[in-house]
Amino acid sequence: MAEPDPQQHAQQLAELDVSTDLFTLVLSLALEDVRGCTDFDAPAARGFLFWSRANRYLAEVLVPDGWGRTSRDSILRVIHPNRTHAITAISAEGGVADLNRRVRSKNPKGPAMARMVEKNGQLAFLSRDEVEYGVELDQLPTWCLLYKREEGIMQAELSLPVKMNGKFVDEWLTRIPISLPPMDDPGFDISLDEPGDDQGPEVVVELLGEN
């Protein structure tokens, strides 16, 4: 049974040039924005807004320090200045921040995420990109800031995915629990589901022969 080691987890975060304070700020700001939603918003508005704002605030804090940002393939990522890794925030379910329990992405993911996770598993670093980023984005190890709100408590971890089973990311090379302080309850039941990136209309093409 894995025992929590806050000092080790803090060191692991520091090696990635992030911190508990950063993620506390990002998630608390996103939660504050969600408070502005009402029952007149779309049913999924709170979850979509939280996902979008969590990634936005990651970028707003880190980009001035030299990090890059991309939304390519609808995966919102910040990219380390040295192009060693990237981070994206997604909702999760299961034992978020509990290393003795399994955790997975809450929503199904599409082929873009599958390619990213596959590259993580191969641990390919620093492939050149001739266009914009200095590396191929699919070659960057991309860590997931997993978040979950349950019974009014926000939980989070920073984890490196290496495999998808079906359409869910559920195998991880490294999981780093984040010890968040209590965050104010927004006063209503809130589902923090970001949109799945495998969604879209199914188009059936029927070839008609000549009569």
Contacts of residue 124, defined as CB under 8 A and 6 or more positions apart, other chains included, come to 139
Instruction: Look at residue 55 in the predicted model and tell me its pLDDT.
Output: 97
Contact 56, 44 (CB under 8 A): no
How far apart CA 49 and CA 34 sit, in angstroms, is 7
Cα 179 from chain centroid (whole Å): 17
Instruction: Look at residue 139 in the predicted model and tell me its pLDDT.
Output: 75
Instruction: Look at residue 110 in the predicted model and tell me its pLDDT.
Output: 85
How far apart CA 108 and CA 163 sit, in angstroms, is 13
Instruction: Look at residue 184 in the predicted model and tell me its pLDDT.
Output: 66
Instruction: List the chain pLDDT tens, one digit each, 211 residues.
Output: 666 688 999 999 999 999 999 999 999 999 999 988 888 999 889 889 999 999 999 999 999 999 999 998 889 999 999 989 999 999 999 999 999 999 999 888 888 888 888 777 665 444 444 345 666 677 789 999 999 988 788 999 999 999 888 888 999 999 999 999 988 665 555 556 665 555 433 333 333 444 4
Contacts of residue 207, defined as CB under 8 A and 6 or more positions apart, other chains included, come to none
Contacts of residue 32, defined as CB under 8 A and 6 or more positions apart, other chains included, come to none
Question: Pairing state of beta strands 153-165 and 142-150?
Answer: antiparallel
User: Encoding tokens for residue 207?
Assistant: 């070839």
The separation between the first and the last C-alpha atoms of the chain, rounded to the nearest angstrom, is: 69
How far apart CA 182 and CA 197 sit, in angstroms, is 30
Instruction: Look at residue 6 in the predicted model and tell me its pLDDT.
Output: 85
Residue 177 pairs in a beta bridge with 157
Instruction: Look at residue 125 in the predicted model and tell me its pLDDT.
Output: 43
